[in-house]
A and B are shown apart, each in its own frame.
Chain A
Amino acid sequence: MTNPASERNLDSLMLGGDIRLEELVDREALGEMVASFYELFRVPLRIFNDEGLILADASEQHALFTYLNTFRNGRRALSEVVDSVKNINPGVDGEATHRCLTGSVYQVTSISYDGRRIGRMILGPFLPPLLDEAPRAVLELDPAIDAAKVKHLMAEMPRAREDTVARIARHLKSALTLILFSGHKALLTSNMHLAAVRESYRELEQKNAHLQEAFDRLKELDRLKSNFLATVSHELRTPLTSIIGYSEMLAEGIAGDLTGEQGEFVATIREKGEQLLELIKGLLDLSKLESGTMSLRKASIDVGPIVEDVAQTVTPTARKKGVQIEVDIDRGLPLLWADADRLRQVLLNLTENAIKFTPEKGRVTLSLGHTLMEAPDADGEALVLLPNRRPALELRVADTGIGIPETERQRVFDAFYQVDSSSTREQGGTGLGLSIVKRLVDGHAGTVHIEDNTPHGAVFVVTIPCRRATLS
């Protein structure tokens, strides 16, 4: 996995291999505990790890030892004592005592965890209660040693019974064992936590890589699909143009007069051919828009006349259906930097749609006004430096039809999506119009959304920023 070294660590931690005393206890806290022990019992206490490194020490050199250290032989004898105490092996879980030439005692107790010794604690030196006279071994170190002084200093040494100290050591050890257990638990928990997080991260990374791969593949497929659509649309258009052209010629009687029924059939062929052509054009537009190959021919344009033109274009259809068209254009609007043909296509599409879904005696209103829109490129950075709102034109196409439920308002802009497919059969339509609208508006850095029209119906609102615009 990601980090083999630390995982081996976790494994060995879990199995209890090479646990070190200093890993399980806080050294400073151990020092405080040892100091408070010393304050309570006045018996020096030192704690070592298993390699003999001192971890905590509460002791001060007693005046007796300071005195003996002033003699060469005394110094040598005392350093031998220190060495032998250091080398006492109390076993994995045992205890041992050592008596030095002054008669004072060291109690050595092993500190073990999980069946292994990980350190030792050494209590002492202390003197048994009844020892008053200077031992001969001390006086024999050097003739200059003053027996009276030694006796006097011995009286100041900490006094304790050996079995009492052993009992204290055992209590101290059991308290320490609890601390070690808690320490081990905390150590394991934190290591396990880290390892688990790392493992989850690794898993997520792997999944992300898979997702990215799948995404890339889908993107490639999408590109292929767009290419395919473009090619097929082109290939379909060519023969279709001939079908329409020849049926037109037939209808005009170029190939001879047609009977009434023949004329009707030819008219149907032409009409359906035109419908098919519209669909193919839509597909072509969509694939061009999707593949980003449609180029917009932008210029400074006045949108008002376009709105009026579209209203005029749809008036015959609207009249046939008994739907009223209204136009409302504000005065003094700025010019728009846009592709006039494409903008007209947007508006025409929305208006035709509106008429399609508006019942008899209904009304479709086209309005054009001035507004402000959020700067889409602000991106949350240094907002204070940027004009966060900029002038825009708002095109509204309101109908009094069945309206579009809130939940559908995003999805209607997806290609081939229809709110209610049964209405399509009734009303006709390819399901491409709105997705083309959306993409064309996107191409103008604009937005399109749907609002409610009170009391009923929908309003399609197109907002396009007036980049490079000047007031007319």
Chain B
Amino acid sequence: MQLDFAARELTIKLVYYGPALSGKTTNLQALHKAADPSASGRLMTLETRDDRTLFFDLLPLTFRDAGGLAVRLKVFTVPGQVIHASTRRLVVQGADGIAFIADSQIQETQHNAESFMDLKENLKSNGLTLKRMPLVIQFNKRDLAGIRKDDEIARLAAQGREPTYLAVATRGDGVVESFIGLLHLTWSALDAEHDLNRKFGFDSDAFLAQVARSLGQTRPVSELLGDCVGGALDVLRPEAVP
């Protein structure tokens, strides 16, 4: 997070992590497509000739609340391919929240796990810990055959702390829901640490609603957040983290 008191500007870094070809870039494209042009900048993709992400994708979203505070969201993806380990480490540096995009196909289970361990390692080498990192999990590609069953995911997700969403990013299904979940969690964590709501007279509920509207959602935020199939949406206060 970067805070510019003078300009009343807050920059938040959100990172979409996950194994190769799990749909991180597709998530960003769907967000970009859904976003109101006044809120969204151009989607920057640094990709190779075969459409694989080389360094990262970057979607800038800017919102201004009623009190005049500009919240600049920088949404990044990491390159999923194993060889880009150093780039992933650089992109995840200073992340305020992470969406882990998992591939729902049963055959990808191992890759999901490896990528998650890789995330843990990279956070650690950046002096961060997963325990204190706002994290949502998205099971993408729900439209494919050979995927892990809904109830299986729900059962496992219910045992975990991370809010878990189901999505078909190619159709845009579940993309905004996951994003709102991530933003809610990230803002709550930043607010718990920096007391942002009080310092800026910021109404975080109204802000989330504004973001959801800008992303083309007509449903209330509570309903969007409720789409998660497991995990907890309330954030631990930092002092409660062991």
Contact = CB atoms under 8 A, between A and B. Distances in A.
Interface of A: 7, 10-12, 14-17, 114-115, 181, 184-185, 188-189, 192-193, 195-197, 199-200, 203
B156 interface: no
A30 B42 CA distance: 22
Q: Which 3 residue pairs across A and B have the least CB separation, nearest first? A: A199-B86, A192-B55, A200-B86
Interface string B51-90: 0000110101010000000101010100000001111011
B55 A189 contact: yes
A200 B13 CA distance: 23
Contacts of B62: 114-115
B64 to A, nearest CB: 9
Nearest to A193: B55
Given A11-B94, A15-B11, A184 B44 contact: yes
Interface in B78-135: 84-87, 89-91, 93-94
Contacts of B94: 11, 15
B98 to A, nearest CB: 15
Interface string B143-167: 0000000000000000000000000
A192 B60 contact: no
B46 interface: yes
A192 B70 contact: no
B44 A192 contact: no
A175 to B, nearest CB: 14
B44 A16 contact: no
Interface string B228-240: 0000000000000
A181 B42 contact: yes
B41 interface: yes
A16 B93 contact: no
A15 B74 contact: yes
A189 B46 contact: yes
28 contacts: A7-B93, A10-B90, A11-B94, A12-B2, A14-B76, A15-B2, A15-B72, A15-B74, A15-B94, A16-B11, A16-B74, A17-B2, A114-B72, A115-B60, A181-B42, A185-B44, A188-B44, A188-B46, A188-B55, A188-B58, A189-B55, A192-B56, A192-B87, A196-B84, A196-B87, A196-B90, A199-B87, A199-B89
Nearest to A197: B86
Contacts of A200: 86
